[in-house]
Amino acid sequence: MRFLVNMARIRRVEFLVVELTIFWMPILISISSLKQLGTWVCAEAFLLLFVLYALGDGINCLADRDLDAVYKTHLSRAVYELGVPFVTFLTVLEIVLALGLAIHLSWLTGKWIFLGLVSFGIFLGVGYSIRPLHFKSRGVGHLVCLWLLLYFVPMLYAALIVTDELSLAVAALAASYATVEMGVILVNTAEDYPEDLDAGIRTTVVALGLHRGIALASWMVAVGGASFVGTFCVLYFKAGISYPSYLAVALLAGVCVLVGRAIWRLARLTGTQAPSESIQEVKRCGKRVPIWATAIGWGGVLCGAVLAVSR
């Protein structure tokens, strides 16, 4: 039982609920028939994405095991209880498995772009945590890496499962969703600001400073949220969906407004309070990050489902 608990911890299963939205949202806006959801290709593609996220989570826990021993003890303990050699072996196994699935999926569909996207994702995932690249400590490069790694590239990959060509709508949806969610994640990153500063890890928030980092998060949620909602409005209009169905978009817009307002308030407070008080306020708001990210993500899935059913 302890083994399974530790495996779940380094897999960061708490993020799975948001990862599901990254997979399903672009599929729902791209499919021409709901029958496409029940194919083997769709199932294998989801398994591959699950392995890729597991790889990213595991290698990050492995690389940060000593830093986490102070501030995220459950993650560090999980790595050491499983054993560093075992987690290292698991990481290599996941890389091999991901490439193998990517090759098979590419061969099965004739879309070799899958292998390219997966290889790029592995490069970003490994480079994020491991030196000498260590994108996590590259200032704004930390933000760009996660924007691509967690959202934009996986959403393009998911859309290609059910369509042969990427549309402007898919790219716009992926970019806007990545932007609004990364704005939320910056608040989570800001929680570790003092620890990252002491450890010499130059995240985006460390590079910009706490107040400017939260201000950037606020702008990202505002701009990303507006374009996210706007993309669905355009898709609904083109599909000729009736006005009652716009309730899903209205719900998504309401969630984005509430989250944006909370982060805007946090940005204002960090600009006026003492550093110690600002950190406490950030940590308090950080507890809401999983709820914010989940609400925005599943609001988008609901909007995508309305569009898919209408077809």
Per-residue pLDDT of the chain (311 residues; tens, 9 = 90+): 888 888 888 888 888 899 999 999 999 999 887 777 778 899 999 999 999 999 999 999 888 887 777 767 888 898 898 999 999 999 999 999 999 999 999 999 999 999 999 999 999 999 999 888 889 999 999 999 999 999 999 999 999 999 988 899 999 999 999 999 999 999 988 888 888 888 788 999 999 999 999 999 999 999 999 999 999 999 998 888 877 778 999 999 999 999 999 999 999 988 887 777 888 888 888 888 999 999 999 999 999 999 988 87
Helical ranges in 110-167 per DSSP H:
113-129, 140-146, 153-160
> What pLDDT is attached to residue 235?
92
> What pLDDT is attached to residue 116?
96
Question: Tokens 């994020």 appear where?
Answer: 128
- Express the helix, strand and coil content of the chain in percent, nearest 5 each: 85, 0, 15
CB 81: neighbour CB atoms within 10 A?
13
> What pLDDT is attached to residue 13?
84
> What pLDDT is attached to residue 140?
93
Q: What SS3 state is found at 39?
A: coil
Q: Which long-range contacts (CB under 8 A, 24 or more apart) does 265-270 make?
A: 266/187, 266/214, 266/218, 267/211, 267/214, 267/215, 267/217, 267/218, 270/210, 270/211, 270/214, 270/215
> What pLDDT is attached to residue 277?
82
At 123-181, the pLDDT tens digits run: 999 999 988 888 999 999 999 999 999 999 999 999 999 998 889 999 999 999 999 99
Residue 242: Cβ-neighbour burial (10 angstroms; 0-12, 13-18, 19+): exposed
First vs last C-alpha separation in the chain: 45
> What pLDDT is attached to residue 266?
93
- Measure Cα distances from 180 to 109, 134, 294 in Å: 32, 24, 12
The pTM (predicted TM-score) of the whole model is 0.93
Q: Are 295 and 255 in contact (CB under 8 A)?
A: yes
> What pLDDT is attached to residue 9?
86
